[in-house]
Amino acid sequence: MHTIRKIATRDASCLLIITTVTMSDLRRSAMLNSLPHMPTISPYAQDVDIDEGNEEEEETDSLGALPSMGPPPPKLHSKPRSLPNPQYAPLSAEGYFAQAAEVAVPASGLVFRVYYTPPALAPGASQKEGTVLVCHHGAGHSSLSFALFAKEVRERTRGECGVLALDARRHGKTKPLDDAKDDSDLAIDTLASDAYNLLVTIFPDPANAPTFVFVGHSLGGSVLVRASSRLLDAKYRLTGVAVLDIVEGFTIDALPHMHTLLDSRPEGFSTLEEAIEWHVANHTIRNPLSARLSVPCLVVPSTSNTGPKYIWRTPLRSTAPYWESWFRGLSSSFLSVRSARLLVLAGTERLDKELMIGQMQGKFQLQVVPDTGHMIHEDNPARLAEIIVEFWRRNEKVVVGVKKVGER
């Protein structure tokens, strides 16, 4: 049994959405300001209100952040506050993406939360003439870490380039399709299959799908590198893959210190404002505006009557068995991607030997964004948007005689 839902759009057109009644009863308000040419999300999807910033039960279901690869930050103990600090009040995602949706993907057994701003197309143009940046967050983060970046891309391209950001399994608001099913498998192949399955669900026809540019932060970069070959084999168009601040050698060497880094994290927080302030104070996120958008999704209300009111959605220690497999072989996989390649780092000292050789051979484009931490896309979204848009324009609209990045 199915119900048919309508989603409001700016031009007053309507998009029919089908969802199963067995899914959790979500809020019934319409999506905010959907642009035209939104692809039909099938077989199942349900619209959700993008203005989620003031609902604690909606804004707080994700896991904690994977610390940046550096010395442990000072441990800031959570202290109860008599009043929340308005300077760190959570913000709504309204205005940063055009749409929010939940997309059921039976192949993965998940209902994915996605945020989407479709590309603005000329009247009568089909969606295959557009380009969409597909953004995958790192371990412990969520799609809203790309909120400021998505807005910058839209403004710099005047809407010509769309942005689709997704929550991975056990992150953000993505959840099992069946509440009884286990979604704890975080193997790299599983995560790559999830990303692929989601894209082919939203854009089922390769011939009519937009051209994609992959943008993956940390673990998300590793996931999209692995997913790229499957997408190309299925005849989808992929202009390039951009990986943000992750290098195999540097990361593998840092893994033995991860548990020490996790010891510096508080067990939880008394308020959402305190959670946001902690991330800013210890420089996990250096941009307070972005932290106010993204951090509320990293914690959930505690069910215990004792201890902090908000706790991490999933303790990162529980993901430890996957850490090495997430990044082992990443450098060679990245260099073998069959499209243009871009690596964006916070510091050049993070290159490993394989990437150094690849850079000297011109196999990928390297950009460094100074004065940022591991969360480049949150710390300086304007500069990253400038880099990604230039990468897209250079490689998608190639002038005759000019080679793409990585081509010989």
Q: Which of 61, 167, 245, 379 is catalytic?
A: 245
As a whole number of angstroms, the distance between CA 326 and CA 224 comes to 12
Residue 4 DSSP label? E
E strands of 39-173, at which residues?
44-47, 99-105, 110-117, 131-136, 161-166
Asked if the 45-396 domain carries CATH number 3.40.50.1820, the reply is yes
Q: How many CB atoms lie within 10 A of CB 122?
A: 7
The pLDDT value given to residue 122 = 86
As a whole number of angstroms, the distance between CA 404 and CA 387 comes to 15
Residue 148 DSSP label? H
As a whole number of angstroms, the distance between CA 43 and CA 106 comes to 9
As a whole number of angstroms, the distance between CA 347 and CA 322 comes to 25
> What number of H helices and E strands is found in the chain?
13, 15
245 is catalytic: yes
Residue among 175, 174, 170 at smallest CA distance from 185 = 170
Tell me the pTM.
0.81
Residue 127 DSSP label? G
The pLDDT value given to residue 398 = 52
Low-confidence ranges of the chain (pLDDT < 70): 1-45, 51-82, 314, 397-408
- Return the structure tokens found at 395: 């490689």
Is the Cβ–Cβ distance between 54 and 243 less than 8 Å?
no
As a whole number of angstroms, the distance between CA 52 and CA 340 comes to 36
List the chain domain ranges: 45-396
The pLDDT value given to residue 348 = 74
Q: Which of 136, 137, 279, 374 is catalytic?
A: 374
The pLDDT value given to residue 397 = 63
On the question of a cis peptide bond just before residue 210, with omega within 30 degrees of 0, the verdict is no
**3-state class (DSSP) for residue 6:** strand
Sequence-separated (6 or more) residues with CB below 8 Å from residue 33:
8, 9, 10, 98, 99
The pLDDT value given to residue 406 = 56
- Return the structure tokens found at 133: 């940046």
Residue 254 DSSP label? H
210-262 pLDDT, tens digit per residue, is 999 999 999 999 999 999 999 999 999 999 999 999 999 999 999 999 989 88
Residue 35 DSSP label? P
Residue among 256, 243, 285 at smallest CA distance from 68 = 285
- Return the structure tokens found at 88: 């760190």
- DSSP string computed for 280-298: HHTTSS--HHHHHHHGGGG
365-401 pLDDT, tens digit per residue, is 999 999 999 999 999 999 999 999 999 999 986 543 4
Exposure of 128 in the CB half-sphere (CA atoms within 13 A)? 9
302 is catalytic: no
The residue count of the chain comes to 408
Residue among 116, 90, 151, 119 at smallest CA distance from 384 = 151
E strands of 294-392, at which residues?
299-301, 310-312, 340-345, 365-368
263 is catalytic: no
- Return the structure tokens found at 177: 């399709």
Q: In DSSP terms, which residues pair with 136 in a beta bridge?
A: 166, 216
As a whole number of angstroms, the distance between CA 193 and CA 227 comes to 7
As a whole number of angstroms, the distance between CA 110 and CA 45 comes to 11
- What proportions of the chain, in percent to the nearest 5, are helix, strand and coil? 35, 20, 45
- Return the structure tokens found at 17: 């959405």
Q: Which of 218, 222, 270, 290 is catalytic?
A: 218
Is the Cβ–Cβ distance between 167 and 62 less than 8 Å?
yes
E strands of 99-203, at which residues?
99-105, 110-117, 131-136, 161-166, 175-176
As a whole number of angstroms, the distance between CA 275 and CA 312 comes to 10
Is the Cβ–Cβ distance between 9 and 36 less than 8 Å?
yes
